Structures are given as structure tokens and as C-alpha cells.
């Protein structure tokens, strides 16, 4: 196992920012679970880095990929973004941007997320969506960078097995969504959700401070509102999203 070079350590520091990731076409992944999910995915891993105290041989035997991946060691704490590093990280190539025609043709159940800027919330939503069988997500407006460490950790690596499309404006995707079940989550509209597994489904969620914009009311076919039994009207968006996804799953509202 080779020692990590100084220029590679400098690269790892650069990959902590969105600008650095975009300029280099790479992103970093930390933690056993996240790195394991990365290796299981179709994304290309450039190299692995282990702390000298980490049992890398056991990890590599357990995660045979059949791919030729370079392996290095270093003091992980010197390049880690985690308060308590698990002793492993990976560097992988950013995937090519998704093609819209392909994206909407191969997926059946999607999240449509508007301005989810908190990386923890975005990661948790993707992780929950993966659990309930959603295929991926469309990230509208200014969502957090899906390949940031916080989103990856929040998703527990689920992001690597989900399809992601990023678009600033909903209207750039509206033609593809004409025949879909489009579910809004407006607090000022009554809930009129009717489960149907005969059509593809997209669930729209907005950020916690402002929710979905009023203009999206004309774009949705139905609304799903969580009514409070206590009169307290505030839910974290990732918690609310999890509740709604469970209801869609339980009531057969997702297309298999």
C-alpha cells in the first residue's frame, strides 16, 4: 500500500468545496457504510485511502469489486471532514449530468425537491426515499450539492444507487411530467390524495421556511397535507417527507 502523496492530500482538501468538486470532476466519500455503497454502485472509484490503524485487508476481501482501484494510506484525521473519522475514504468521479429523456423514461417514482438547502435534510430525504423504493430525485432551485460530504453521510450512501437530475426551473421538466401523478404538499390546501399505482408518481417537497411556491399549485394533480393532532404546525421537511412516503408506500400509491 502506497503512502498518499502531498498533491493528493491537497486535492482532498479541495474536494471539500463544491467549486473544487466541479473543477476536478471528483468527489470524496468518508465512512465504512458510504464507501461500501460507493463500491457497490456503478460510479467509478479512483482510489481508496485508509488510516494506518484500519484493517484494510479485511475490508478489501469483504468488498471485492473486480475493479483495479489504487490503495493508499495516510493519517486520515489530517484530511477528514468528520469529527471522528472511521479510518477510510474514497475518491470517485462525478457522474455525467442526467439526460432528461432517459431520466424520466426509466424512472417510476421520484421526489421533486425545491430549495432543500440543508444538506442533512437532503441526505435524509434521499435515504428515506431509497428505503421506500423511490428511483431518484429531481433537485430544483438551490438544493444542497448532492455530492457534498454532509449529504452523502446523511443519505448513508443511498445517493449512489439513486438517479439524480438537477434543474433550476420546474418548467424545464414539465413536458416530461404531463402524464405523471404530481403530488403537492401545500399546508393551505386540503388533502385530496388518492393512491394510484397505474401512473408514475412524483412527490413535491419545498424547503422548511417557505414550502412550495404558489405557482406550483397549478402544476399538481392532488395534495397531501399532514394534519396535526396538537395544533402545532411545524415539521422538519425530512420527517414530513418520510411520513408521506410511508403513506404512499402503504396505500399502494407507488408504481412498481
Domain 100-250 carries which CATH code? Answer: 3.40.1280.10
**CATH 3.30.1330.30 domain residues, the chain:** 2-93
| Mean pLDDT score of the chain | 92
Taking CA atoms, 49 is separated from 36, 73, 76, in Å, by: 13, 5, 8
The answer to whether residue 119 scores a pLDDT higher than 90 is yes
Retrieve residue 86's grid coordinates.
472511521
In this prediction, residue 175 has a pLDDT band, given cuts at 50, 70 and 90, of: very high
pLDDT at 205: 97
pTM score, two decimals? 0.92
pLDDT at 10: 94
Domain 2-93 carries which CATH code? Answer: 3.30.1330.30
What are the DSSP calls for 107-125, one per residue?
A: -SEEEEEES---HHHHHHH
* Pairing status of strand 181-184 against strand 222-223: parallel
What are the DSSP calls for 123-134, one per residue?
A: HHHHHHHHHTT-
**CATH 3.40.1280.10 domain residues, the chain:** 100-250
Closest to 152 in 3D by CA, of 246, 49, 61, 16: 16
Q: What pLDDT digit, counting tens, does each position of 14-54 carry?
A: 999 999 999 999 999 999 999 999 999 989 999 999 999 99
Amino acid at each position: 500500500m502506497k503512502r498518499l502523496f502531498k498533491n493528493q492530500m491537497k486535492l482532498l482538501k479541495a474536494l471539500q468545496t463544491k467549486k473544487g468538486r466541479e473543477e476536478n470532476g471528483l468527489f470524496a466519500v468518508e465512512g465504512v457504510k458510504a464507501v461500501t455503497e460507493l463500491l457497490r454502485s456503478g460510479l467509478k472509484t479512483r482510489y481508496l485511502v485508509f488510516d494506518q490503524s484500519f484493517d484494510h485487508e479485511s475490508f478489501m476481501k469483504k468488498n471485492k469489486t473486480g475493479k483495479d482501484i489504487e490503495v493508499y494510506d495516510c493519517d486520515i484525521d489530517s484530511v477528514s471532514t468528520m469529527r471522528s473519522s472511521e479510518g477510510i475514504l474514497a475518491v470517485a468521479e462525478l457522474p455525467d449530468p442526467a439526460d432528461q429523456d432517459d431520466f424520466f423514461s426509466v424512472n417510476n417514482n421520484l421526489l421533486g425537491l425545491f430549495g432543500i438547502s440543508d444538506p442533512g435534510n437532503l441526505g435524509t430525504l434521499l435515504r428515506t426515499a431509497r428505503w421506500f423504493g423511490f428511483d431518484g430525485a429531481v433537485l430544483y432551485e438551490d438544493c444542497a450539492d448532492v455530492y457534498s460530504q454532509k449529504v452523502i453521510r446523511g443519505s448513508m450512501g443511498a445517493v449512489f444507487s439513486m438517479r439524480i437530475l438537477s434543474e433550476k426551473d420546474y418548467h424545464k421538466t414539465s413536458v416530461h411530467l404531463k402524464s405523471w401523478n404530481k403530488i403537492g404538499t401545500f399546508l393551505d390546501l386540503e388533502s385530496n390524495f388518492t393512491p394510484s399505482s397505474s401512473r408514475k408518481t412524483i412527490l413535491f417537497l419545498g424547503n422548511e421556511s417557505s414550502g412550495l411556491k404558489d405557482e406550483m399549485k397549478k402544476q399538481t394533480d392532488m395534495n397531501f397535507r399532514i394534519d396535526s393532532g396538537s395544533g402545532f404546525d411545524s415539521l422538519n421537511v425530512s420527517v414530513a417527507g418520510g411520513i408521506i412516503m410511508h403513506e404512499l408506500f402503504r396505500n399502494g400509491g407507488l408504481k412498481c
